[in-house]
Structures are given as structure tokens and as C-alpha cells.
Amino acid sequence: MSLDLSNSRDLLLTLLPELVLTGWALVLLLVVAWRHHSVRDLRLAGWLTLAGLLSSAVAAWWLWWNGARVEGLAGMIALDDFRWVSDWLFLGGAGLTALISFAYLEREQLFAPEYYLLLIFATLGMMLMAAGEDLMVIFLGLELMSVAVYVLAGFDRRNPRSAEAALKYFLLGAFASGFLLYGIALIYGATGTTNLTLIGVQVGLGDSNIMLLAGLALLLVGFAFKVAAVPFHMWAPDVYDGAPTPVTAFMATGVKAAAFAALFRILTEGFAAAGAWREIVWWLAVITMVGGNFVALAQRSLKRMLAYSSIAHAGYLLAAVATGNTAGRSAFIVYLVAYTLMTVGAFAVLGAKGRGGESDVLIDDLAGLAERRPGLAFALAVCMLSLLGFPGTAGFIGKWYILIAATSAGQNLLAAILVLASVVSAGYYLPVIMAMYMKPAPGPADTAHADVRLGRLGEVAIAAVVAGLLLFGVWPTPLLDLGKTAGDSVRPPAAAVPQPAPSATPTAPGS
């Protein structure tokens, strides 16, 4: 199915998933304005949210199934497999977040169905970021997502930590958006366009100057803030720690995945021929992997440990981007899917264990969980092992694929650092499993972990996460094929100058 974006009907068809989700958001907005007092109203908003997310996923599947492609030069919206896979990832992550939010919001007495409306608007912004073929569309999607997540981070108004998280996220997020917008302005000044394909053509023809490179540098700084890459990560631990735990799961997965998807498309389509960014991303990946893992070792709070863990995993994803080859593009998709599943699962179990934001839940507080709640303990153990990269889990497949991409690109040193960083991460993932299975429960055995509540829908989400991690760990072929198809669909324009093959020596860029 070939679509002409200059035709209004075809343009609306191109935006069908986003329009479907927008329609559900408007319906939910009317419902919330009418019913917003009781638990039943909260549940109704949650079910409408799940229906909207499912409908949008079906719309994206329909376009993918019919082979929707742009006729001629892509204007402002992309039609490729990378967009569809990203949409399913965002919608799936939002759906899992909604499922674990049902019992959480009721337990914390957050009877405000606007929560689900903000979740939909944030997801809509993520979808626009992945679909953006123009820097302005990506920026608009980023701001739509960010404003909604700012409010979600401070949704528990009774908790000072939540208010602090929202304020920090807003201030530093606005700061990062300023870098992005200034970078876009410089790129437009240097090229006369904000279309990624046209920018890629000019860069491929060697039409680069100081203004263009400065704009690219500012873009990298802005996105480094959004993905919490070291040294631009200072906001993440406090924001993740203070936000309600389902919101933290959403930020650590969906928000980060959207920023990575936009960065991936910009670098691959617009700046593939500008080799300078690979060195910058290489060093960002290294210091993020090392810094995130070593700081996580010192954390006793489970939530802050997972926050620093998400920073370290941003380094793994940056390593896939830094390779700049076809295998790296495929590995990026594979690991993004695995990371989303295992991170949502870990935060879901944490949300069931704690109270009042879960900031005070220590690793030792999980002692004896396997005896009292074996299902939850098994789920958290699978998530921890997958985050570690243990064989038989999707996390192992994702890391292995990144290693293959790095070594095939001649980045042997980067691959070695990734392996060593993963070894270091065992120092904070394995103690969680040891506490659950090898330490006795504190206090009387009949009351230990009696207050742990996940809810039936939360249990469904956890079961889906564990099944996905184990299934892709032993049968990764569908995930690998999906990653290859989606990665190959994002390519630099034909006019881009091919890069020379990198050296096979294990040296750092610029050394």
C-alpha cells in the first residue's frame, strides 16, 4: 500500500494509530470530567485506557500488514517497520504500566483517573517521536510526552518526594529541551531544512560545516539528558526514587525507549555520513556502563538500585548505536524489547512490596519472599537474571547480539567493557535473589510479606513479562527476525557517502 503524504486522505491514514489513540484520549477526557470520584470511576478509566492502547496497536498492525509505504520522498512522517515495532513497544509498555497501576492506585488511595489520561498522552508523544521524519515532529512529540510525564512524576501530591521528583524532572527536562531546540535551529540554519532525509543527503555529499556539527553536538547533549546517560544522568535517581513506582517503570522503559528511538533515527538517517558522532556515542556508552554499574553497587534501596541499573542499561543501548552497522541496528531493537520487559517486571514486584512510593524498601526487606510468595519471588528472580544477562533469558540474547555487533564493527574494546560491566552488575542483582531465597523472613513467619499486594491484573502483567523473557531466552528467532527487519528499514539516504570499514584493532576511537 503506497501512500502519498501530499494527499490529505493518505496523510490521515498514515497517522491512523496516533489518531485512534487521540480519539480514545478525547473519550477518556469526557469520562474523567464526568466521573472522577470513586474507585469504580478509576477502574473505568483504566479499562478505557487499555481499550485505547489495544485499538491503536491494531491500527499499527493493520498498516504494517498491508505494507504501508511512502510514495516518493518521506515528508514529516515515516512509514517503516521500525515505526511499527516502536509503536508496539510503547503501547505494550503503557499497557503493562496500566495493568500494574490498578491495584497500586487503589492501595495508595490515588483516586484520580486523570492518571490514565496522562498515560495516553505520554504514549501518543512517544509514537510521534518514533514516527518523526522531521526534527520538528520529533520535538513536538518529545514535548507532548515530557509534559505528561512531568505531571505523572508528581502525581502523589501527599508525598514530598513525589513533588521533588516532578520539580527536578521539569527543570532539567526543560533544560534538555532547550539544548535540543537550539541544536535543531543550528541544523536548520546550516542545511535549510529539518527533514532527516534531506539533511542526510547534504551530509552525505560532504556539505558539513561548524554550524551543522555544533547543532548535532547539542542534539546529542539533549538526548543524553533524556536517556539518562552519564554525565547527564543526575536527575534520574532522584526522579525515579520519588515518583510512584508504576510511573517510574513507565519512565525507565517507555520514555527512555522513545528518546532512543528518535536518536536512532536521527543519527542513522540524518547523520550516517558524519562519523564524528560515533566517537562521542562510544565514550558516552563506556562511561554510562561503568558509572551506572559501579554506583548501583553501593545502593541498598531497591528502587535506587534499579534506577542506577537503568542508567547502566542505557550504556548498553548506546553501545549498539555506536557500532553504526546493520547488526548494531538489529541488536538495538532486540535489546530495547528485552529491557522493557525486564524493567517493567522488576518495578511491578517492587510496587507490590512497598508502600508510599517504595523509597524505603531495602534489598534485605525481600528476605524470605520466596517462602511466603514464591510466584513473586520467581518473577523478580527472572527479571534480575535477565538484567544481568544470564543465559536462558531475553537479556542474555540482547547482550549477546550487541557483542556480535560490536566485534563485527571492530569495536573489540567496547565489547570487552560491556562484558566486564555486566560482570560488575552481578554484585547488585544476585544479592536480591540471595535475600529472597537464602535469608529467613524477618519477624513471625505468618506475618512476613503478608501485605504484599499485586492484584489480578498486575499478576497478569507479571506473568506476561516472565513468559516473554523466558520464551525469547530459549527461542529468540522471532525477536531476532523482528529486530533485523525493523533495523534494516531505517537506512541513510542513497546519496550518503559510505563510511570506511573501522579498524579491527581493540582501540578506543580517537586513540
Could you give the CA distance from residue 279 to residue 286 in angstroms, rounded to a whole number?
Answer: 11
331-359 exposure pattern, b = at least 16 Cβ within 10 A, e = fewer? bbbbbbbbbbbbbbbbbbbbbbbbeebbb
End-to-end CA distance of the chain: 48
Could you give the CA distance from residue 343 to residue 331 in angstroms, rounded to a whole number?
Answer: 18
In a domain, residue 74? The reply is yes
The predicted pLDDT at position 497 comes to: 45
Cα torsion 117, 120, 126, 127: sign: negative
DSSP single-letter state for residue 500 = P
Global confidence as pTM? 0.89
pLDDT digits (tens, 9 = 90+) for 466-498: 999 999 999 989 989 988 888 888 877 764 444
In a domain, residue 269? The reply is yes
Task: Report how many domains make up the chain.
Answer: 1
* Mean pLDDT computed over 239-253: 90
Q: How many CB atoms lie within 10 A of CB 206?
A: 8
Could you give the CA distance from residue 256 to residue 292 in angstroms, rounded to a whole number?
Answer: 15
Asked whether the predicted pLDDT for residue 268 surpasses 50, the reply is: yes
pLDDT digits (tens, 9 = 90+) for 8-54: 787 888 889 999 999 999 999 999 888 777 788 889 999 999 999 99
If you search the block for the grid coordinates 555520513, which residue do you land on? 273
Domain of 206, in residue numbers: 2-488
Asked whether the predicted pLDDT for residue 57 surpasses 90, the reply is: yes
CB contact at 8 A, 226 and 142:
yes
In a domain, residue 496? The reply is no
* Mean pLDDT computed over 84-109: 90
In a domain, residue 501? The reply is no
pLDDT digits (tens, 9 = 90+) for 270-291: 888 777 788 899 999 999 999 9
Amino acid at 511: S
In a domain, residue 46? The reply is yes
Could you give the CA distance from residue 15 to residue 19 in angstroms, rounded to a whole number?
Answer: 6
Of residues 112 and 506, more confidently modeled: 112
* Mean pLDDT computed over 292-297: 92
Computed over every residue of the chain, the mean pLDDT equals: 86
Could you give the CA distance from residue 492 to residue 264 in angstroms, rounded to a whole number?
Answer: 11
Grid coordinates belonging to 502 = 573501522
Q: What is the 3-state secondary structure (H, E, C) of 115-183?
A: HHHHHHHHHHHHHHHHHECEHHHHHHHHHHHHHHHHHHHCCCCCCHHHHHHHHHHHHHHHHHHHHHHHH
In a domain, residue 184? The reply is yes
At 509, the pLDDT band (50, 70, 90 cuts) reads very low
| Closest to 291 measured CA to CA, from 267, 264, 318, 268 | 318
In a domain, residue 493? The reply is no
Could you give the CA distance from residue 457 to residue 96 in angstroms, rounded to a whole number?
Answer: 9
Integer-rounded Cα radius of gyration of the chain? 22
pLDDT digits (tens, 9 = 90+) for 344-387: 999 998 888 766 556 678 888 888 888 888 888 899 999 999 99
